[in-house]
Amino acid sequence: MSQVLDDLVELLTLEAIEENLFRGRSQDLGFRQLFGGQVLGQSLSAASQTVEEDRHVHSLHGYFLRPGDAGLPVVYQVDRVRDGGSFSTRRVTAIQKGKPIFTCSASFQYDEEGFEHQASMPQIVGPENLPSELELLTGRAHLIPEAMHDKFLRPKPIQFRPVTSEDPYDPKPGEPVKYVWFRADGSLSDVQALHRYMLAYASDFNLLTTSLRPHGKTVWQRDMQVASLDHSLWFHNDLRTDDWLLYAMDSPWAGNSRGFSRGSIFNRAGQLVASVSQEGLIRHRKDWT
């Protein structure tokens, strides 16, 4: 396991303060604010520690309420809403400076047999010969402020390899569709809960920006204000985030300074392991100078 991946595993491992109360440290990825994927992964980690081990999370629905501070830890308060015969429901509130910055509900279920069907995996080129996002960004390093090089150009715990790359500083309008392969940069344990925390973390990368593609915009342009507003995640099957996963994304709508995107995540065998949806702020600051 690489050092950066080990750091991410530690980030997703929370300190139990007392019953139903946990604390997680924060990581500054260079966004000035707390990365939403960190809060998603840590919220799921907190909720999972309050349910029986044989109940696995199958859905999470959350709202980002305030920008988080990447320089401060986050406290997670878990409300044990219900434990039924098959399902358990948890409500999690993430708190900084005494105020909620994120809230979500997560549902857990015993494994059981039932009807099965799934969408087919898109026929997409494999990840082996594709450059990573880090490699693509390094090629445009001269456009990144020197003070930000350490944050944006350092090794990442998760590799992302876009099937179709775009110039982050000079994008061209295109279809609101994106395909990205991703995996952890190293081997992880067999603990399924960890892979689900990791997937929650990774699912906040790339998704919202799919809604910017028709408009020839990216988050790297200084006249854009982009932020996640909500996030929903459904787990369909066991998964491994240390093997390649395909994130197939599209954006069917944008308007009123909001973009809506959805994603399907497949493993290499073509099994649909998770589905994602998100609405976010995509505000063009026309008065930017």
What's at 41, amino acid-wise?
A: G
Whether 96 is catalytic is no
Nearest Cα to 156, choosing from 184, 128, 193?
184
Whether 2 is catalytic is no
Catalytic residue from among 43, 88, 132, 278: 278
Strands 74-83 and 230-235: unpaired
Let me know: does 269 contact 239? Beta carbons within 8 Å. Answer: no
What does the alpha-carbon distance between residue 188 and residue 243 come to, in Å, rounded to a whole number? Answer: 10
Query: Strands, DSSP E only, in 25-133?
Result: 55-64, 74-83, 87-96, 99-110
* DSSP conformation class of 121: P
Cα-only R_g, the chain: 19
Catalytic residue from among 38, 43, 96, 204: 204
Question: Rounded to 10 degrees, what is the CA torsion of 192, 93, 248, 268?
Answer: 0
What does the alpha-carbon distance between residue 230 and residue 36 come to, in Å, rounded to a whole number? Answer: 10
Helices 3-11 and 36-48: crossing angle in degrees, nearest 10, is 60
Helix (H) or strand (E) holding 44: helix 36-48
Whether 120 is catalytic is no
Let me know: does 253 contact 225? Beta carbons within 8 Å. Answer: no
Catalytic residue from among 38, 107, 159, 228: 228
Let me know: does 13 contact 45? Beta carbons within 8 Å. Answer: yes
What is the residue whose two structure tokens read 């994603």? 263
Residues forming the active site: 204, 228, 278
